[in-house]
Amino acid sequence: MKKSDSSSSALSSTLDALRSSPVRNLRMVSLQPVSVDIEAIAIDPTNPGGVTESLRYKRRAPSIRDSYDILSGIVYPVIVHEDPANPGKFVHIDGFGRISEARARGQKEIMAIVFRPMTLEQRICLRQTLGAAQEPFDAASIIRDLQQLAKERHLDITNPEHIKTLVRDLPEKVRKHERDLVMLAHWHPDAIDALGETYSKNGQAVGLDKIRGMDRILRVLEKHHPKTVTKLGGPLSVSLRLTKMYLGKKFSEGTRSQEAVRRVAKAFEAIGQDDPAVFDFISKQRSYSDLPTLGNGSAADDGELIAACKQLTSLLLEVPTESLTAAGRRALKRTDAVLDQVLEGAAV
């Protein structure tokens, strides 16, 4: 198949997927915004944008306040849909910050674009479409929506093929980050909440690039230390521990955090399978500066070697050389030859 034919086929597949999207042909009550009672709008609890700790919410708040101070109102209408269970009531889809500011100022009504009743699936897909036009890629919000969408469609968000099915109906801006979304699906929700673009506590945040690095540690642990992962509570629990370690600056002592994360992954890859030192490092959330005690890629082995050398040194210092037997001398010479061989190899 020619490259142009392949591109055409991919475009056709994408268009077919978009045509079948749950948001296609949604109906508005009116083509023009209408004024609705603010108290009649319920905040959708499944919407990540309705979390007040969101960095996105905090970033937008000043401009929303400016809009009210200068223009005495909002510029863009909020988006809601009719609540099928409560006539005359609405559910918010987009505009949490504008609704919150209006309520705080005692405003009774707000301009809104009103859609006919929607399913949860339609709300998720619509707010992702709206978000793609307004915000940079917001991985944490998207993964939260995908978790809800997966429940709605009875899919497993940890299954890469299911992720592909879920993002098929979302904007291209989301689809192109499919690989990262597959990765994030294996992380604890509270760890995802630490992502810099969205949720943060006490101003602490983890960039997506750091999550990618720590994901390598998680993959190494799952492959080389499966019993340790189980003992630590499973992959989700480990991902949360790693995030807490990062937020606690445990990867920032003596080097850049990204380099420290890489070295930790490499050390865990080299160390013996399910070595107790790995469990100790993660469970006690030790600092990167403690990593050298794990050894040169084999933490426990180095510790045992040092202990054995100390014991041998102590023993040799007490040997009465004048009474050494022939067998004793031969043993010492063999030990000396082995030491020379090891040290010569280490110097290469």
Q: Tens digit of pLDDT for each residue in 125-174?
A: 888 877 765 655 567 777 778 888 888 888 888 888 888 888 877 777 77
pLDDT at 250 over 60: yes
Nearest to 78 by CA among 63, 99, 60: 99
**pLDDT for 66-124, tens place per residue?**
777 777 777 789 999 999 889 899 999 888 888 888 888 888 999 999 999 988 888 88
pLDDT, mean of residues 53-75: 69
DSSP 117: P
Residue that wins the pLDDT comparison between 23 and 92: 92
- Cα–Cα distance between 267 and 271 in angstroms, integer? 6
Confidence of residue 217 (pLDDT cuts 50, 70, 90): very high
DSSP letter string over 239-308? Answer: HHHHHHHHHTTTT-SSS-HHHHHHHHHHHHHHSPTT-HHHHHHHHTT--GGGGGGG-SS-HHHHHHHHHH
Quote the pLDDT of residue 116.
92
- Cα–Cα distance between 28 and 196 in angstroms, integer? 34
Nearest to 144 by CA among 207, 195, 99: 195
Any idea where the domains of the chain sit in the sequence? 34-120, 122-192, 208-299, 318-348
Residue that wins the pLDDT comparison between 305 and 155: 155
Beta strands 90-94 and 41-42 are parallel
Confidence of residue 14 (pLDDT cuts 50, 70, 90): very low
- Cα–Cα distance between 91 and 6 in angstroms, integer? 42
Counting residues of the chain whose pLDDT is more than 90, the rounded percentage is 19
CATH of domain 34-120: 3.90.1530.10
pLDDT, mean of residues 250-257: 78
pLDDT, mean of residues 188-197: 71
Quote the pLDDT of residue 200.
47
Quote the pLDDT of residue 282.
93
Confidence of residue 348 (pLDDT cuts 50, 70, 90): very low
- Cα–Cα distance between 107 and 112 in angstroms, integer? 14
- Cα–Cα distance between 52 and 175 in angstroms, integer? 27
Contact assessment for residue 80 and residue 91, using Cβ atoms and an 8 Å cutoff: yes
Quote the pLDDT of residue 301.
46
Quote the pLDDT of residue 63.
72
CA-derived radius of gyration, the chain: 29
Quote the pLDDT of residue 79.
92
Q: How far is CA 271 from CA 231, 275, 284, in A?
A: 17, 7, 18
Quote the pLDDT of residue 161.
87
pLDDT, mean of residues 177-192: 82
Q: Does the predicted model carry a pTM greater than 0.85?
A: no
Contact assessment for residue 155 and residue 147, using Cβ atoms and an 8 Å cutoff: no
Which range has the worst mean pLDDT, 101-110, 198-207, 288-297? 198-207
Confidence of residue 65 (pLDDT cuts 50, 70, 90): confident
C-beta neighbour count of 157 within 10 angstroms = 20
